[in-house]
Structure 1
Amino acid sequence: MANTWAGLRLIGLGVVMLCSQPAWADWRSALPDARLTGSGEYTWFGLRLYTARLWSAGPVQGWQRPFALELIYHRALSRDALVQASMKEIQRMADQPLPPDTAARWAQAMAEAFVDVRPGMRITGVYLPGQGGRFYVDGQPSGEIADPAFARAFFAIWLDPRTRDPQLRQQLLGQAGAER
């Protein structure tokens, strides 16, 4: 009888361990060889909003390689504020105005993938060339936007030469002389 209970406990423990292991993996499974390429702080009118970190398996040149952009928030911001700020920057950097249906679709997709953030929370976006972007909140998947045009426009907010913060871009890309 003792062996039966011991066996049942082992099976129960195995089931608990299997169930506690997520069926998904965090963003690192998409980029198993990723290393920190660079990092920096984003401030707005002197307020530190987030720390940005760029992870990749090699230099981020062009849009041919996958990478992860991790934002660690230092301030509380609503999901709506994140979506609105992202759409404003996407529209600002677009070569021509986005069609209204595209802008609405992208805003809705971000609203589904993002959350209200508090200090210490992390949102990580993984850029997947030719596929789109995958998002994680504190390591848990929060959404995937299977639209390569969206992914490029979104990550350009930080990595395009026309970004609002060229110094942060240089820091993320690990370029020399990026001291702030």
Structure 2
Amino acid sequence: MNLVQKILKVGLVWLALIPVSWSSSAVPANQVLVGKGVYTVLFWEVYQAELFAESRPWQSNQEYSLTLTYLRNFEGKAIAQRSVEEIRGLGFKDEQKLKTWLEVMLEIFPDVGEGESLTGVRQASGSTAFFKDGEAIGRIEDPEFSRWFFGIWLDENTSAPQLRLQLLGQS
């Protein structure tokens, strides 16, 4: 394998680890579209993200949903691992908690194919419910997880600032 192939392979593995969002059919009926965008790396489109909330503008303390519709195939394990890396990149330092969250995400996140969606719903209680193509697949009750997980896309320090602005309807 030459250097270019290795770089592309590492890039695709990295892309596979980027957390994804979820299917609009899992979005509660009282939520409206705030914004959407396509996450790309180099020239690859990875997923379309859509943010729904009870009202505009988005507020972190309300119930909201993030749907990622994948444009490529990814393993659930890679999605969970990439989520942890992104949370760590936001500045979260509690490695024991990250390990616990990773274990739970490994159990929840399924493999996804092109055109399939994952949706995360931040509920009023602060817990997070997950859906694949509208069907419930798991829940994490920890409000701290919810804050950091959705921060992957919505925090000011996200690794995808342009996508954040699109999701918030600011670009």
Coarse TM-score class (shorter-chain normalised): 0.7 to 0.9
Matched residue of 2:110: which SS?
coil
User: 4+ runs of 1 displaced by more than 6 Å?
Assistant: none
Task: Determine whether 1:47 maps to 2:36.
Answer: no
1:118-129 counterparts in 2 under 5 A? 118-129=113-124
What does residue 86 of structure 1 align with? Answer: 83
C-alpha distance in 1, partners of 2:124/2:57? 12
Query: Any conservation in 1 of the 2:26–2:133 contact (CA below 8 Å)?
Result: no
Query: Any conservation in 2 of the 1:125–1:136 contact (CA below 8 Å)?
Result: yes
C-alpha distance in 2, partners of 1:148/1:129? 10
Task: Determine whether 1:37 maps to 2:34.
Answer: yes
Identity percentage over the alignment?
A: 35
TM-score by length of 2: 0.81
Query: Any conservation in 2 of the 1:79–1:114 contact (CA below 8 Å)?
Result: yes
C-alpha distance in 1, partners of 2:121/2:56? 15
Specify the code of the residue in structure 1 equivalent to 2:121. V
1:12-161 counterparts in 2 under 5 A? 27-28=26-27, 31-94=28-91, 96-98=92-94, 100-161=95-156
C-alpha distance in 1, partners of 2:58/2:49? 18
Query: Any conservation in 1 of the 2:87–2:152 contact (CA below 8 Å)?
Result: yes
Deviation at 1:81, TM superposition (A): 1.0
Deviation at 1:130, TM superposition (A): 3.8
C-alpha distance in 2, partners of 1:60/1:113? 30
Matched residue of 2:156: which SS?
coil
Specify the code of the residue in structure 2 equivalent to 1:154. F
Deviation at 1:165, TM superposition (A): 1.3
Matched residue of 2:115: which SS?
coil
Specify the code of the residue in structure 2 equivalent to 1:102. K
For structure 1, list consecutive stretches of 5 or more residues without a partner in the other structure. 1-25
Specify the code of the residue in structure 2 equivalent to 1:54. L
Specify the code of the residue in structure 2 equivalent to 1:165. A
Greater relative contact order (Cα < 8 A, sep 6+): 2
For structure 2, list consecutive stretches of 5 or more residues without a partner in the other structure. 1-24
Task: From the CA coordinates, give the structure whose radius of gyration is larger.
Answer: 1
Deviation at 1:101, TM superposition (A): 2.5
C-alpha distance in 2, partners of 1:165/1:53? 14
Specify the code of the residue in structure 2 equivalent to 1:149. E
